[in-house]
Amino acid sequence: MSARNRELLNLIFAGLVAFAAFAATSIALTDVLVPPVLAWAGVLAGMYLLAHIVVRRTAPHADPTLLPIAGLLTAVGLTIIYRLDPEDARRQIAWVAIGLGVFIATLVWLRWDYRVLERYKYVLGVASIVLLLLPSLPGLGLEVNGVQLWVKAGPLQFQPGELAKIFLIVFLAAYLRDKREVLAQGRLKDFGPLLAIWGAAMLVLVQTSDLGSALLTFGIFLGMLYAATGRALYVAAGLALFIAGAGALYNALSRVQERVLVWLHPWTDERVHCTLTGQLDFRQNCDSYQLVKSLYSIANGGYGGTGLGRGTFTTVDGVNLIPHLNTDFVYSALAQELGLIGAAALLCLYMVFVARGMRVALIAQDGFSKLLGAGLTFGFALQTFIIVGGVLRVVPLTGITLPFISYGGSSILANFVMLALLLLVSNRANATGSDR
């Protein structure tokens, strides 16, 4: 069976799961099967079928599991968002449609040779730093929950950091491909652009007060540096630099201090009292309210979960128990309704995606493709770890999104661009291998 036919079968399976999830949620919420809800699943299946047809024409040798996994994750995300707020789900499915349009456009644009991006590595590198700093500009940046991640332009607002992440990966893939030999020799002058990335990560942390974006940016840098040179010493030195810089900034930024304090001590008497009284002003008077309620939500799910549509996320008065549940804490909502078994299965999907992505990087024939595939996959994996780890108190909580699942247009668009690039790398690698 050809790769594209296997992809089609996987998409059919993902579509059946989507229909079942939407149907179960509809019955749980309304006691009847609402036809418009199933129509949403049909629309989503139709959009992914169109994407599959385009992949057949533009990347016929690409990995057959990446697109179906993305489709299944998207279906899970839309289901839980619909369960929390149908209006948000309507907006999210529109963003998924736009994201798939961008996915198709990327495939068509770069179908002949995506390596043309190598020529613009310095432009993309500078652009990534500019995009990371945009939210800190007066009159342009928008502060949400104490961090400046958004840019507002008229009626639209978006997170430029999502696009900056892609630009950074392409820059690093191109630069490290050119300099990997001399970097392995340890010549200091060749580390100039890389040290600039470290400085930019620290500057982002200062300007936006967001630990997550800085950690993601610098983590991608270290991962790709290790992939290019194989020198664990560089990773250790980079981690030491980041820890030293973050430690220094910890004493200067109250927002970072709050995040670390909530991570280490969410159960202090004052915070538990605030949680039990149900006060929702968690940002000023109850910093750990959101995290504590999220942990209660996960615990309430047990092993098997409450069932889709049957979780408890509001009080009897209709007040949300966990603020910003469909973005930062969507994993806790899924863990409650799907339980430990379902949440673990969801993480297994991410692991399979990462494993297939790393396989793409391993079989790629040229240095740029190898590093691009590894960078895209590692960025995807690290982002998942940071947000899930924050919800589970493994690392300090950050404001980044869970790929393909969390509510938000910027993240959806960036994820589909990364998926398209990964499929293009896979297509070239498999086609080259079959020619030999």
3-state secondary structure of 212: helix
Residue 96 confidence (pLDDT): 95
Q: Could you give the CA distance from residue 214 to residue 421 in angstroms, rounded to a whole number? A: 23
pLDDT in tens, 227-239: 888 888 878 887 8
Mean pLDDT computed over 158-183: 86
Kindly provide the b/e burial profile for residues 218-239, where b requires at least 16 CB atoms within 10 angstroms of the residue's own CB: bbbbbbbbbbbbeeeebeeebe
Q: Tokens 């994750």 appear where?
A: 73
| Cβ-Cβ contacts under 8 Å for 333 (sequence gap 6 or more) | 80, 83, 84, 297, 311, 313, 322, 325, 326
Q: Could you give the CA distance from residue 211 to residue 161 in angstroms, rounded to a whole number? A: 13
Please name the amino acid found at residue 355: A
Residue 137 confidence (pLDDT): 75
- Decide if 427 contacts 62 (C-beta within 8 A): yes
Could you give the strand order of the β-sheet that contains 156-158, starting from the edge strand earlier in sequence?
A: 141-144, 147-153, 156-158
Residue 147 confidence (pLDDT): 64
Q: Could you give the CA distance from residue 219 to residue 187 in angstroms, rounded to a whole number? A: 22
Mean pLDDT computed over 389-399: 85
Q: Tokens 């590595």 appear where?
A: 121
Mean pLDDT computed over 302-307: 91
Mean pLDDT computed over 375-387: 94
Q: Could you give the CA distance from residue 229 to residue 176 in angstroms, rounded to a whole number? A: 8
Residue 321 confidence (pLDDT): 81
Residue 210 confidence (pLDDT): 67
CA 396 to chain centre: 16
Binning pLDDT at 50, 70 and 90, where does residue 273 land?
Answer: very low
Helical pair 66-84 and 86-109, crossing angle rounded to 10 deg: 160
pLDDT beyond 80 at 346:
yes
pTM of the model: 0.90
Binning pLDDT at 50, 70 and 90, where does residue 436 land?
Answer: very low
Mean pLDDT computed over 408-426: 94
420 to each of 49, 185, 279, 320, how far by Cα in Å? 15, 34, 44, 36
3-state secondary structure of 156: strand
Please name the amino acid found at residue 433: G
Phi, psi of 289, deg, nearest 5: -55, -50
- Higher-confidence residue of 151 and 116: namely 116
pLDDT beyond 50 at 281:
no
Binning pLDDT at 50, 70 and 90, where does residue 424 land?
Answer: very high
Residue 53 confidence (pLDDT): 95
Mean pLDDT computed over 8-30: 90
Provide the percentage of residues in the chain whose pLDDT is more than 90: 42
pLDDT beyond 80 at 208:
no
Residue 315 confidence (pLDDT): 77
pLDDT beyond 80 at 361:
yes
Torsion on CA atoms 103, 109, 112, 114, rounded to nearest 10? -70
Residue 143 confidence (pLDDT): 66
Report the chain's mean pLDDT, rounded to a whole number: 84
pLDDT in tens, 124-156: 988 888 887 787 777 776 666 666 677 777 677
Q: Report the 10 Å Cβ neighbour count for 277.
A: 9
Q: Which residues lie across from 157 on neighbouring strands? A: 152
Question: Hey, which of 160-174, 258-272, 338-352 has the most confident mean pLDDT?
Answer: 338-352
Question: Hey, which of 210-219, 304-313, 413-422 has the most confident mean pLDDT?
Answer: 413-422
Write out the DSSP string of 299-338: HHHTTT-S-TT----B-TT--BSSTTTTTTTHHHHHHHHH
Please name the amino acid found at residue 161: G
pLDDT beyond 90 at 350:
yes
